[in-house]
Amino acid sequence: MKDQKMPIATGTSFRAALAFVGMLLAVTSQLSAEAAIEFNRDVRPILSDKCFACHGPDKGKRKGDLRLDIEKEAFAEREGRRAIVAGKLDGSELYKRITHSSKRKKMPPEKSGKTLSQGEIDILRKWIEQGARWQAHWSAIKPVKSDPLPGEGSPVDRFIRSRLEREQKKAAPQADRRTIIRRITFDLTGLPPSPADVDAFVSDKASDGDAAARVIEKLLASEHYGERMAMYWLDLVRYADTNGIHGDNHREHALYRDYVIDSFNENKAFDEFTREQLAGDLLPDASVQARIASGYNRLLMTTREGGAQAKEYLAKYAADRVRNASGVWMASTMGCAECHDHKFDQFTMKDFYSFASFFADIKETAVGTQAATAMPSRAQLRQIAEVDSKALEVRKSLDVQTPELAEAQVLWEKKALPRKTSTAWSALRPVEASSAGGAALKVLDDGSILASGANPDKDVYTLRFEAELRGVTGLRLEVLPDASLPAKGPGRATNGNIVLNEFEVHQGDRKVSWGVVTASHSQDKYGVAGVTDGNQGTGWALLPRVGAESHAVFEASNVLISKDRKTSFTIKLHQNYGGHHTLGRFRLLATDSSPPIRAEDSGGIPVDVVTALQVKSPRRTPEQKGAISRYYRSISPELAAARRELESLASRKKKLEKGSTKVLISTAQKPRMMRVLPRGNWLDDSGQEVKPAVPGFLSQIETKEARATRLDLANWMISRDNPYTARVFVNRLWKLFFGRGIVKSLDDFGSQGSWPTHPALLDWLAIEFMEKGWDIKHMVRLIVSSDTYRQSSLETREDRSLDPYNELFARQGRFRLDAEMVRDNALSISGLLVRTLGGNSVKPYQPGGYWSHLNFPKRSYKNSSGESLYRRGLYTYWCRTFLHPSLLAFDAPTREECTAERVRSNTPQQALVLLNDPIYVEAARVFAQRLLGESGTDVDKGIQWAFREALARSPIPAEAKLLKALHQRHLGEYSGDPESAKGLATVGAKPVAGDLPQAELAAWISITRVILNLHEIITRY
């Protein structure tokens, strides 16, 4: 195929005219003679813009007690009149008032600054004449999956084609292959394809669709896909490296960015992605990644300002979280209900503060430095995975049966019980069981207790018993393995260990004292005596004996007294070590046998194994045989080396899990009381107290009597009953790949937002997303594999007049690359780009003194060095108040708030950045060095090579002629000015090749600077 010629970019001077033309055409189309007026598409936007401020949801501003946002209210009779009467203009007060000749009575009133155009009046007239059919707002109704029209192509193509046929418009032809592969590669990785990739795609004999499918799969498997998708997500969640308020001080959060990149690369299901961020710390047995993900809740701006009021800033933080979470997942403007009921949508102030209450449990510093937590880095996580893999191999080897092991077990069984224990134990079932940290304690059939749900860092279990014994002389605590626990338990820490700090028993007001305390096994320096010494700093632990039963026996100094043949008492198990070292599964037993009562009575053998050994071998059940076999393997001399290796691996994993990189994560605490703040005033405590709840007009969270948590909110967000989340996500995906969303207002799915151009397609995509398990790559593949995606982006004159904003998607979008991608493209072309994934933020070259006004404390900016200078723009240090000027020039957001769509400006500063920012000059210099290495002093060959590298095409004759003349002129100038040549040829930290003539190099740098400044270089077609 011939290369597609790139059009010259038009300026922005026609925007106002085009907007007017588009509006006029839209109205004209809607008002064709037989056009059916649709309330959501045609009427609601008019009412919302012109009427809701006085006749909408905000009761504080409502006039005449009239609401036009609710059907029942809009059609209700008031003093013998109705605002709207279906089919009757003369009975509809609304129509009378918008057409009234009197300025005093005409609506909207003159002082509102709002006026209705004749086109809008005609729409309202036709709607009433046609029966005034009402619709609930489209975004608040659950999506309905309708089948696309039959025909060829993907469902995406058929939905788009259906609209085009209705509009009597044809789709643009397919783009040429060079354009297609550059488009796909930029869209999926944020980087350009190599010339070799372009050549391979262009020469592929397969159909466009099949050839593209192979490229798509390759790019989805690239680790750079995750980086590209992360750019969009980090804008939404307002990720930055600084606090934002007052001194805008540094914060530790790079591990969260790594988590986002990894999640997209791993194709983590969006529902899981959502749960981990909103409530990763509340997930049962939360993984390291889930805890890092919970740092989403800590991404907001915070302050360290001396004298700032803690109460004020807690109110600010609560409001910020409402704005962001509702914006990210619901594309809603719930934040507008902080001081009053929403003026256009159904959100009330109570909704706002009830939503804020979900986040009231987050442990944070109101004013001051936010405490970060050391967590494993990306490299450490890989090492942990390697340790886990090796440990799994060792555990499998422990399960291998050999004749020698079987023979040794038989001999051991004969000697295992040299004497019978004289202690009779009775299993206890608690009358009540509770966890101070919110864990769920479930009593199983065997009387053991299994912890699940919330997994707090520390915990206290309180258990009340009524033992059917005539007094209690001793208690036995068995800690048991379970498949649901990390490393099979018995603890909830990632290594399966426990640390029990205090074993406290009360009978009434009397605290029980203990005599001898023994255990079947104790970890070095964590002996069982530590649980009864009254010191919370000591405790009983088990490493390396995890995944197996252990027990401790407590002999009472004084018998627990019975009453009515029952002995009642309360046990508190204090677990304050941290790191989730809490009991996962355990059982309590009691005895009224006479002392001595010791764990050693059975030689340290667990009760279930003792019971099994007491049964003759032929009569043992499979469970009993398994219990004996597992226990013998845990003590067998033949397997001692394997057990030592497991112990070593567990110790190494523990060190790795301590981490070396700090990050802000969420930790749950007792929720703060939340109340409605009248007018948003943090000093006013007169508002009603609220509990966590979602907006009242949507489906509600059911928790019975329990307080709803962030995990409940996360589950509600990805529920099929939530009409927003899936629509919002697929709409933003569509925008990434077409330049505009099906709903143009990416951040507002409410009454002030846009009507979807293709409602059926949006709903189809949303339901497909949910039905396919929230599979992001599936949705990306579905969109970018379509014929619609592969269309040409060239505009025709008809396009500019009839569909200037490409609402029909009859062509592809054409738009400038995002700021980070502009940089990445230049570095990639030059050969400077370092493609290392993840890690801490880096500091590229920045103008001296740019941070001079950054105070409290004053600080200076120090460039990174070595490879860190050439990392992708995604990793640039994101200072909110002084964003890197190169990023700022190309419209990167400060990330103070949720940014669903970046503005795209065209300014002279952008050309100046490309010509003068040291990183772009250095990129041009290294590009020129490569060029000279490939083509020598052959100017024609050099220009051809440069265009192939930069744009994967040959220059047109006019371009080649212009650049050749430029080279000759600059070669002459630099030959006569060696100092200027040296200055240009030595910009940047990358060493200059010593054997290159500086005048020649400088002349070629001038050429490569021009090429890197081309509109085509920074534009995605």
At 955 the three-state DSSP class reads: coil
State how far the Cα of 354 lies from the Cα of 694, in Å rounded to an integer: 7
Residues 527 and 466 in one domain: yes
Q: What is the mean pLDDT of residues 14-28?
A: 39
Q: Are residues 443 and 529 in the same domain?
A: yes
**138: part of which helix (H) or strand (E)?**
none
DSSP 392-449: HHHHHHHH---HHHHHHHHHHHHHH-SS------EE---SEEEETT-EEEEE-TTS-E
Give the mean pLDDT of 762-788: 98
**477 lies in the same domain as 588:** yes
Measured CA distances, 639 to 370, 386, 616 (Å) = 48, 22, 25
**pLDDT over 90 at 627, yes or no:** no
- Region 961-987: what's the mean pLDDT? 97
User: By percentage, how much of the chain surpasses pLDDT 90?
Assistant: 72
Convert the pLDDT of each residue in 379-435 to its tens digit.
888 899 999 999 999 988 888 888 989 999 998 888 877 455 567 888 999 999 999
Contact in structure between 822 and 911 (CB atoms under 8 Å): no
DSSP 867: G
Beta bridge partners of 690: 674
Q: Does residue 935 lie within any of the structural domains?
A: yes
| Rounded distance between C-alpha atoms, residue 679 and residue 337, angstroms | 10
246 located within any domain: no
> CA 239 to CA 664: how far, in whole Å?
12
> Considering only CA atoms, which of 782, 774, 744, 743 is closest in space to residue 759?
743
**How far apart, in whole angstroms, are the C-alpha atoms of residue 255 and residue 237?**
14
Dihedral angle computed from the Cα positions of residues 66, 68, 70 and 76, in that order, rounded to the nearest 10 degrees: 50
Token representation of residue 750: 């409410």
Same domain, 165 and 201: no
- Beta-carbon contacts of 13 under 8 Å, excluding residues fewer than 6 positions away, are none
The CA–CA distances, whole Å, from 830 to 200, 821, 823, 833, 1008 equal: 21, 14, 11, 8, 9
Q: How far is CA 42 from CA 135, 146, 756, 801, in A?
A: 11, 22, 12, 22
Phi, psi of 374 (to 5 degrees): -70, 125
Question: What is the CA angle 869-870-876, rounded to 5?
Answer: 70
- Alpha carbons within 13 A on the beta-carbon side of 495: 25
Distances (CA, A) of 1007 to 63, 436, 730, 817, 1011: 66, 69, 42, 22, 6
Provide mean pLDDT across the span 956-978. Answer: 97
Task: Provide φ and ψ at 432, rounded to 5°.
Answer: -140, 145
Q: CA–CA separation, 828 vs 220, rounded Å?
A: 19
Whether residues 491 and 634 share a domain: the answer is no
State the Cα–Cα distance between residues 661 and 281, nearest whole angstrom: 18
Q: Give the DSSP letter string of 325-369.
A: HHHHHH---GGGGSSSS-SSSS--HHHHHHHHGGGTTB---SSSP
**pLDDT tens digits, one per residue of 522-532:** 998 899 999 99
Tally of structural domains, the chain: 7
Q: What is the DSSP letter of 491?
A: B
Verify that 487 and 463 share a domain, yes or no: yes
Distance separating alpha carbons of residues 107 and 97, to the nearest angstrom: 5
Overall average pLDDT of the 316-341 stretch? 97
Which residues are CB-contacts of 314 (< 8 A; sequence separation ≥ 6)? 366, 672, 682
Q: How far is CA 73 from CA 48, 82, 126, 400, 908, in A?
A: 15, 9, 21, 75, 53
**pLDDT surpassing 80 at residue 16:** no
Question: What's the pLDDT score for residue 144?
Answer: 93
CA distance 801 to 14: 11
Per-residue pLDDT tens over the stretch 146-180: 988 888 889 999 999 999 999 999 999 999 999 99
**Per the domain annotation, does 466 fall within a domain?**
yes
> Could you count the other beta carbons within 10 Å of the beta carbon of residue 138?
22
Question: 969 is in which domain, residue-wise?
Answer: 916-1020
Tokens at 445, concatenated: 């059939």
pLDDT (tens digit per residue) in 92-144: 889 989 999 888 889 999 888 889 999 999 999 999 989 889 988 999 999 99
Distances (CA, A) of 586 to 86, 259, 443, 463, 583: 69, 34, 10, 12, 7
Q: Strand, coil or helix: what is 476? A: strand
Give yes or no: residues 406 and 441 share one domain.
no
309/313 Cα distance (integer angstroms): 6
pLDDT at 604: 58
Tens of pLDDT, residue by residue over 174-202, are: 999 999 999 999 999 999 999 999 999 99
Q: Cα-flanking dihedrals φ and ψ of residue 719, to 5°?
A: -75, 150
Nearest Cα to Cα of residue 873 among 919, 909, 910, 924: 919
Q: What pLDDT, on the 0 to 100 scale, is given for residue 19?
A: 40
User: What distance in Å separates the CA atoms of residue 348 and residue 359, rounded to the nearest whole number?
Assistant: 18
Q: Are 445 and 530 found together in one domain?
A: yes
Is residue 717 domain-shared with residue 751, that is, in the same domain? no
Q: Which residue in 105, 101, 102, 98 sits closest to 121, CA to CA?
A: 98
Mean pLDDT of 546-555: 90
Please list, in sequence order, all residues whose beta carbon lies within 8 angstroms of the beta carbon of residue 222, skipping any fewer than 6 positions away: 188, 189
Last residue within a domain, chosen from 765, 788, 815: 815
* Contact present, 377 and 661 (Cβ < 8 Å): yes
Residue-level pLDDT at 6: 35
In a domain, 589, yes or no: yes
Q: Which tokens is 21 given?
A: 């033309």
**Residue 19 within any structural domain of the chain:** yes
> Two tokens at 367?
């004013």
pLDDT of residue 13: 37
DSSP 540: E
pLDDT digits (tens, 9 = 90+) for 908-940: 999 999 999 999 999 999 999 999 999 988 999
622 plus 639 within the same structural domain: yes
Q: What is the mean pLDDT of residues 287-312?
A: 96
Convert 86-132 into a string of H (helix), E (strand) and C (coil).
CCCCCCEHHHHHHCCCCCCCCCCCHHHCCCCCHHHHHHHHHHHHCCC
451 lies in the same domain as 396? no
Decide: 453 and 440 in contact? Cβ < 8 Å: yes
- pLDDT confidence of 630, banded at 50, 70, 90? confident
Is 828 part of a structural domain of the chain? no
Residue entry with tokens 């845990």: 634
In this structure, is residue 837 part of a structural domain?
A: no
Do 457 and 584 belong to one domain?
A: yes
Q: Centre a 10 Å sphere on the Cβ of residue 740 and count the other Cβ atoms it contains.
A: 19
840 in any annotated domain: no
